[in-house]
Structure 1
């Protein structure tokens, strides 16, 4: 936007309050645009990639995976975190192979998604993968994933009914529909 200065908060000091294997949490003091001070707590995340694998028949390759924080199995697109110094494309290729066993001939970058702008630095790069070749999954130790092929109508119905609620997957479906109608 032309001039955002009247909205900008400036960091005064920063404190690391948690250092985990994946996530780190900071608590910062910021100066508000009106000169006042406020506290901001947020999660530092290394970033991630989500892949929308399109099978030759047009169906989408999805995953069913238990997500511990919400105590349920979710239907979602393959995704995973970026390793240090890894490009988003390399991460997408690695995650697709590890989680589904598939490789792709064609990769189309869609853009970036910021899933929770209020308390995390996470950004997720989105790719469409086509020209898929099946292989053997290489799941990480302790990772349990089931793949399933689903049609676009079935997935959209799943979003509308509340059966599919994963934000990155819902956004990916929107991106894919937008690409199909351009």
Structure 2
């Protein structure tokens, strides 16, 4: 009998179909769990997705707005970016927070790890809560045209509840922080 946590997929061949500095796409010929032949495409990310929810002493946070090319729409989200695999994700988080908002934080807490689209990719996300904030000058990358808004965390929570924020890392971070606040764990 097959144990439920054992891999039921059998790979018969793999072909690299696309590669760039950020992702690799592989097409696999497989025998699926029912024993039939099939194909499976996998997007392998070369960076870890990093998200930072900055929260000041008055429970204000910072929204980053930008046009997201893959979605072809504007998106409001927490500061986010990536860090190359093999590097310290916290250092990547510190860099991203400074780049996008000009903020530095004295206190960092990892609050969530999650896979963002596990049906087609292996992308790992690490989300941090950043506290004890100090404002400096933002240093956005040349690919970023950002709008930054400082708002009460309660307002950001309502934006998640109302569907105005749809970015999965931001939704997860806001719901986690709301839970921590309700449980008096912050």
Q: Does 1:111 align with 2:121?
A: no
1: CA distance, partners of 2:5 / 2:93: 36
Contact 2:65 2:146 in 1 (8 A): yes
Q: Mapping of 1:66-85 within 5 angstroms? A: 66-85=67-86
Give 3-state SS (helix, strand or coil) of 2:161's partner: helix
Structure 1 residue 84, shift from structure 2 partner: 4.4
Query: Is 1:123–2:124 an aligned residue pair?
Result: yes
Residue 42 (structure 2) pairs with residue 42 (structure 1): yes
- Write out the 4+ residue segments of structure 1 that deviate beyond 4 Å after TM superposition: none
Number of aligned positions between the proteins: 181
SS of corresponding position for 1:69? coil
Deviates more, 1:64-73 or 1:170-179: 64-73
Worse overlay, 123-132 or 63-72? 63-72
Note the residue ranges of structure 2 that are not aligned, 5 or more in a row.
none
Give the 3 Å change call, closer, same or farther, for CA 21–7 of structure 1 in structure 2.
Answer: closer
- Larger deviation, residues 4-13 vs 74-83: 4-13
Gaps of 5+ in 1: none
More strand by share: 2
1:95 maps onto 2:96 in alignment: yes
| Aligned 1:114-153 pairs, distance under 5 A | 114-153=115-154
Secondary structure of the corresponding residue to residue 70 of structure 2: helix
Q: CA deviation at 1:178?
A: 1.9
| CA positional deviation for 1:88 | 1.1
